[in-house]
Amino acid sequence: MTTASSQIPTMSGDEVVKKLNPLYPDIKTPLLHSNAFQLLIATVLSAQCTDEQVNRVTPVLFAKYPTSQAMARAPIRSLEKIVKSTGFFHVKSRRIREISRLLEEKFGGKVPENMEELLLLPGVGRKTANIVLSAAFDKIEGIAVDTHVFRLSRRIGLSEQNTPEKIETDLMKITPKEEWPRLTLVLILHGRSICFARGPECERCVLSDHCLYYATIYTKK
């Protein structure tokens, strides 16, 4: 008897990218930025917040504090007021100021260009580091696994793991390295537009023919 787990992965990451590419714009990240520092800060602010809301906040933030030097000296109350609408603003305001301080003290005001050093910054995990490395420096060291990538990878049948780190490892195994950044982006966009956390619109999905959820749950409703 064939079990659900024996069907994983249901397709390769390359197949996912090829099927979803025509549906979504060829961009590196929807977060507005003009340099690596801005992208790093925007990505930190995007935790538990939509990119659209972050994009409303960051122009104001970077107009007032355009560099790590300026942000490291920013009053917490000022930062909190600006980033409040992104949620968890007490934590985020302190985090982006601390990141800025460490950039100045340890990295000469420059964002590190490797995973090891990026992970030394407070609140920066592999997801954030992968986004910054890919979009700011065109460096590929891994696959950014956010909540959408996590959910879709398990739902589609690309991985049955239950942590972002383990899912990242599975995705890296089934996807050509040059497609790692693109896989992250198309899964995020697909999760926002079709494969919703509640009520995925499977009849509209171009992945349904190879989707574990569609085959084992949706069609049985």
- Residue 127 annotated in active site: yes
For tokens 């601390």, the residue is 98
20 Cβ contact list (under 8 Å, min separation 6): 186, 187, 189, 190, 206, 207
Residue 137: count of CB within 10 angstroms of its CB: 15
Catalytic residue among 14, 146, 166, 170: 146
Cis peptide before 59 (omega within 30 of 0): no
Alpha carbons 136 and 131: distance in angstroms, whole number: 8
Nearest to 33 by CA among 15, 51, 13, 8: 51
Question: Are the CB atoms for 61 and 41 separated by under 8 Å?
Answer: yes
Catalytic residue among 18, 26, 92, 127: 127
Q: In whole angstroms, how far apart are CA 213 and each of 28, 128, 169?
A: 28, 28, 21
Alpha carbons 171 and 158: distance in angstroms, whole number: 7
- Residue 26 annotated in active site: no
Report, as residue numbers or ranges, the catalytic residues: 127, 146
